[in-house]
Amino acid sequence: MLTTEEVKRNGWLIFEAVSGSKAYGLDTATSDIDIRGVFVLPRAMFYSLDYVPQVANETNDIVYYELGRFIELLGKNNPNILELLNTPETCVLYRHPLMDNIRPELFLSKLCQQSFANYAYTQIKKAYGLEKKIVTPMEEERKPVLAFCYVYADGRSVALSQYLQESNYRQEDLGLSVVPHFRDCYNLYYSSHGQYAGILRKEEANDVCLSSISRGEKPVGLLYFNKDGYSIYCKRYKEYQDWIAKRNDARYNTTLQHGKKYDSKNMMHVFRLLLMAKEIAIEGKINVHREDREYLLDIKRGRFEYDELVQKAETLKKELPALYVDSELIDKPDKEEVNKLLIKMREEYYKEQL
Question: Residue 317: how many CA atoms within 13 Å on its side-chain side?
Answer: 17
**What's the rounded Cα separation, in Å, for the pair 70 and 76?**
10
Taking a C-beta distance cutoff of 8 angstroms, is the pair 211, 177 a contact? yes
Fold observed for domain 1-107+330-354:
Beta Polymerase; domain 2 (3.30.460)
Reported as a single tens digit per residue, the pLDDT across 5-26 is 999 999 999 999 999 999 999 9
CATH 3.30.460 in the chain, residue ranges = 1-107+330-354
Strands 185-190 and 174-178: antiparallel
> What is the pLDDT tens value at each position of the chain, 354 positions in all?
899 999 999 999 999 999 999 999 999 888 889 999 999 999 999 999 989 999 999 989 999 999 999 999 999 999 999 999 999 999 999 999 999 999 999 999 999 999 999 888 877 766 554 444 444 566 778 899 999 999 999 999 999 999 999 999 999 999 999 999 999 999 999 998 889 999 998 888 999 999 999 988 999 999 999 999 999 999 988 887 776 666 555 555 554 455 555 778 888 999 999 999 999 999 999 999 999 999 999 999 888 888 898 889 989 999 999 999 999 999 999 999 999 999 999 999 999 887
**What's the rounded Cα separation, in Å, for the pair 143 and 204?**
10
**What's the rounded Cα separation, in Å, for the pair 313 and 318?**
9
**What's the rounded Cα separation, in Å, for the pair 178 and 279?**
66
pTM of the complete model: 0.67
